Amino acid sequence: MTPTASTEANLRRAIGPLLGAFIVVNATIGTGIFKTPAQAAYLAGSLPLVLVVWAAGGVIALSGTLSLAEVAAAHPRAGALYEILRRGYGPTPAYLLGWTKLTLLIPSAVGGFAKLGAEALRSLVGLAPEPTRDALLAAALVAAAAAVNLLGVRLSAIGQGIVTAAKYLGVLALAGLGLFAAAPPPAPAPADLVPSVGGALAALVAVMWAYDGWADLANLAGEMRAPERSLPRALLAGTLAIVLVYLLANFGYARTLGLAGLADPTTQEMVAGRLARATIGARGNSILSLIVLLSCSGGAMTSLLTNSRIFVPLATDGLFIRWLGWVSPRTGVPARAVLVSAGLGIAYVLVRTFEQLTEAFVVGFFPFYMLAVGAVFIYRRRGEPRPFSVPGYPVTPLIFLAGATALLVGAVAKADPTALAALGVIVLGLPLQRVFRSV
C-alpha cells in the first residue's frame, strides 16, 4: 500500500469554478424537490406557511454557504469540513465527523438518492411496485454510482456536469409547468390541516434534506484549481441556482395542486408526478420519471465523489482507519473509501425506507454544519488567512446557526426514533475513537 502520508499527494487539481458549481447543483438536486414538498406541506398545514419554510430554507442554505466559503478557503484541503473542525475544535470533533460520515451520513445520502431513483426507473419501464425488487434496483444504482467514481475525478466530474445540466433544465421545466400550464382547479384544502409553529419546524427538517448539498464541494478543495478563489465562487453560484429553481418549483406546485393536492398523505406518488399528470396528462409520468432518474443517479454519484474524500486527510493525520484513506496513484481516487461507502449504502437501501434515510441524514449532519459555520468566529479571532470574507459578518453565520438550531428542535420535537438514533450514532463514536486511531 502507498504510505498513508503520501495519499493526499495523489489527489489531482482538476476542478475549476464552473465545474465546481455544477457539482454543487448535482449534489443538491436529487430526491428532495420531487418528493419532500408533500411532506413539508402536510406538516406546515398551509400553503403560505410552507412557502415561507422553503424560503427560510434557502436563506439558511445561502448563509451556511457564505460562511463555509470563508473557512474552507482559508486552508483548502481535501475533506475541508474535517480540516475546519480539526483546526477549530481539535481532533475529537474531526474524528466524529469521519465516524458519522462512514456509518450514517454517506450510506443515508446515497441510499436516499438510490431509493427514489429505483422508484423512477420502475415507473419508467411500467413495473408495479414490489419491495424486494425495488430495493435491489436501488442497490444496483449505488453500485453504478461507485463505478463512475472509480474512473477518476475529472472524468467523473465531467459526466456529472452533463447530468447536472439535464436535470436542472428538467426541474426548471417542471416549475414552468406548474406556474404557466393549464390545469384543473385545485381541490379545497382539507379542514384537518392546521398551520402551527411546531409543524413549520418539523417541515424544515424535510426542506433541508432537499437543500442539502451546498457544502459538499468543500470536500473537494484539495482537487480544485486555485481553491482560494474558485471554491467560494462555485459554492455561491451553485447554491443561488438551487434556491432559485426550488422556489420556482414550489410556487408551481402550490398554484397547480393547491394544499389538498400537494399535502395528500394517502398516496406514495411523488408530488412532482401529480403536477406532471395534472398539466400534461399521462405522458408526464414518463418524462418526470426520466428527470428523477437522472437527478437521483447524479446525486448518488456526487455524494460518493465528495464525501469519500474526507477519509484521505483523516488517514493522513492518523485519526481514522489508515487503510480507508488510500488514494489510487493511477486514478487519483480514494477507491477503498468509495467502495466501502457504496457497500454500506447498498446495505442501507435493503433495510430502510426513504423517509428514514433522509431524516437520519439531516439530523446527523447538522451538528457538524453548525460547528463548521461557528468556526468563522474562531478563525477571525485567531487571525487566520481570509482569501474570502463572508458578507454581512457576523449576522450571516448567526442566521445559519439560528436556522439549524430550529431544525434540530423540530426534529427532536417530533420524537422520531430515526432522528434520535442519528444523534446516538454520533455519540457512539466516542468510545471507539482510540480503537480507530490504531487500525
Q: Which residues contact 424 (CB under 8 A, 6 or more apart)?
A: none
> Which grid cell sits at 95?
474524528
User: What confidence score (pLDDT) does residue 95 get?
Assistant: 92
Report the distance separating Cα 294 and Cα 162, nearest Å. 10
Report the distance separating Cα 326 and Cα 333, nearest Å. 8
Query: pLDDT tens, position by position, for the chain (439 residues)?
Result: 333 344 666 666 778 888 889 889 888 887 778 888 988 998 898 999 999 999 999 999 999 999 999 999 998 887 889 999 999 999 999 999 999 999 888 988 898 889 888 988 988 888 888 888 999 999 999 999 999 888 877 777 677 778 788 888 989 999 999 999 887 787 777 767 788 888 888 888 889 878 988 888 888 888 888 888 899 999 999 999 999 999 999 999 999 999 888 887 555 567 888 888 888 887 777 888 888 888 888 888 888 888 888 898 888 888 888 888 888 888 888 899 999 999 999 998 888 777 677 777 777 888 899 999 999 999 999 999 999 999 999 999 999 999 888 877 776 666 566 666 777 888 888 888 877 766 6
User: What confidence score (pLDDT) does residue 164 get?
Assistant: 81
- The dihedral through the CA atoms of 332, 221, 34, 116 has a sign that is positive
Report the distance separating Cα 88 and Cα 382, nearest Å. 10
Count other C-beta atoms under 10 Å from residue 290's C-beta. Answer: 17
Report the distance separating Cα 393 and Cα 396, nearest Å. 6
Report the distance separating Cα 388 and Cα 10, nearest Å. 27
49 is in which domain, residue-wise? Answer: 4-437
User: What confidence score (pLDDT) does residue 3 get?
Assistant: 38
Name the domain count of the chain: 1
Q: Which residues contact 392 (CB under 8 A, 6 or more apart)?
A: 66
Cβ atoms of 327 and 2 closer than 8 Å: yes
User: Looking up cell 454517506, which residue turns up?
Assistant: 106
CATH number, domain with residue 21:
1.20.1740.10
pTM for this prediction: 0.83
Cβ atoms of 32 and 171 closer than 8 Å: no
Measured in whole angstroms, how far is the alpha carbon of residue 230 from the centre of its chain? 21
